[in-house]
Every structure is written in structure tokens, then in C-alpha cells.
Amino acid sequence: MKTKDRILDVSVELFNKNGVVAITTNHIAKAMNISPGNLYFHYDNKEEIIGELFKRMCKETYKIWSPKHISSMSPVQFVEENFDVYWKYRFFHREMYALRRKDPVLAKMWKNHMEKMMKLMKVLYRHWVADGKMVQIKNDKELLYVFESLLAMATTFLQFFESTEKLAGKLSVHRGKTHLVRLLLPYSSGKSKDDFEKFLDAEVSI
């Protein structure tokens, strides 16, 4: 693996474990057993590393949302894969508000990402309606409410649950999945609805 990629891998582990503020480029270099100069050869500063990690997260997310990938999985599997990415880059979901305020470049990237996710949700919605996995929502205002609620839930659940309840690690992820599936359930149909209900029944025992 290239040093540049290793820096990103180590950084995301440290950010997830300790938070972005507590970690410096010196910490990252030390964890990799390389000199700070070697790290700076690849990245100018911590903000650039964070930006590259954000691009990586977006790329992995868009792959899940690609039409070809969507058609090969059930809605439950789709939710599971998205939450795997959320967990992998969980520091973003814990700290994005503060990170955006500090870094205008990241703030712009985040805004563009949110706009793209809204467009992808429209594509996904049409796909699921056509496949009979979701009922058609004829009221445009209600449809927008569903999209915004899902996106707000998916991007803030970690920060919310970890700050308001005694939930650690993946327990907060399970709670996030449960709430998102509950939001989708009234609009699901056929086997997808059955799968969502089974998922919720299983989550009760966790």
C-alpha cells in the first residue's frame, strides 16, 4: 500500500478513536512510524487529510447508490451498507458541524454532497416505486419531507444518540438503523415492507 493511502487509513482510525481536535499530524506520523516530513510530502496539513477522507467517504457512498448496485440488493441491505460507511467514517458524523465551520473548503464539499444525495434519493425513490418496493408519494411536499427527514437522520444520528443516551460504539448504529427503517416503513410495500418489519422485530432484541 502506498504511503499516501496508509496515511488516510491511519488518520481515520485515530480520528474515530480520539476525535479530530485531539489528533495532530505528528500523532499520525508517530502512529505510522514515519517522520512528520514524510507525511508533509504527501499532505500539507490535517485539513487536507480530512478533505481526502471526505472524498473517499463520498466515493464509497456513491458506489452504494449507483443504479446497478441498487438493483442487486434489497432495501434492508441498502440500509445496512450505508450504515457500514457511516460507521467507517463516524468522526464526520460526530464532528461535521464544527469541521465545516472551521474549514470553508470542507463546508463547500459538504454542501455539494448534500445536494447530490438529494438527487440520488430521487433516483432511488423512482427505482423502488417502479420495482414495487415503495409506494408512490403523490404529494410533493410530503415527498420532500421524507427525503429531508431521511437525510437529516442519516447524517446526525451518531452525534445525537452518543450525546443523549448511554450508547457506545455500534449500539448507536443499531439505533440509527432502527429509526431510519421506521421512517421508511410507512412508505414501503410488498416484500420490502415485510423485510423492514422483520428487521425491526430483530432489532428489539439487541
The 10s digit of each residue's pLDDT in 44-73 is 999 999 999 999 999 999 999 998 898 889
* pLDDT at res. 27: 97
What was the pLDDT predicted at 172?
Answer: 84
Beta pairing partners, 51: none
Q: CA-CA distances (angstroms) from residue 129 to 51, 133, 137, 138, 192?
A: 35, 6, 9, 12, 11
What is the Cα Rg of the chain in Å?
19
Instruction: Say which range, 47-56, 69-78, 165-174, 177-186, has the weakest mean pLDDT.
Output: 165-174
Answer for the pair 176, 155: CB distance below 8 angstroms, yes or no. Answer: no
What pLDDT was estimated at residue 204? 55
Does 115 score more than 80 pLDDT? Answer: yes
Q: What is the pLDDT of residues 7-21, one digit of tens each?
A: 999 999 999 999 999
The reported pLDDT for the residue numbered 170 is 73
Q: Across the chain, what does the average pLDDT equal?
A: 92
Which pLDDT score, from 0 to 100, does residue 159 have? Answer: 81
Model confidence at 168, pLDDT cuts 50, 70, 90, reads low
Instruction: Choose between 165 and 39: higher pLDDT.
Output: 39
**pLDDT digits over 149-160, tens only?**
999 998 888 888
Highest-confidence range of 49-53, 91-95, 137-141, 172-176, by mean pLDDT?
49-53
Q: How confident is the model at residue 86 (pLDDT cuts 50, 70, 90)?
A: very high
3-state secondary structure the chain: CCHHHHHHHHHHHHHHHHCCCCCCHHHHHHHHCCCHHHHHHHCCCHHHHHHHHHHHHHHHHHHHCCHHHHHCCCHHHHHHHHHHHHHHCHHHHHHHHHHHHHCHHHHHHHHHHHHHHHHHHHHHHHHHHHCCCECCCCCHHHHHHHHHHHHHHHHHHHHHHHHHCCCCCHHHHHHHHHHHHHHHHHHECHHHHHHHHHHHHHHHCC
pLDDT band at 167 (very low <50, low <70, confident <90, very high): low
Residues whose CB is less than 8 angstroms from the CB of residue 156 and which lie 6 or more positions away in sequence, other chains included: 93
Residue-level pLDDT at 174: 86
- Residue with the bigger pLDDT between 174 and 100: it is 100
**pLDDT at residue 205 is higher than 90:** no
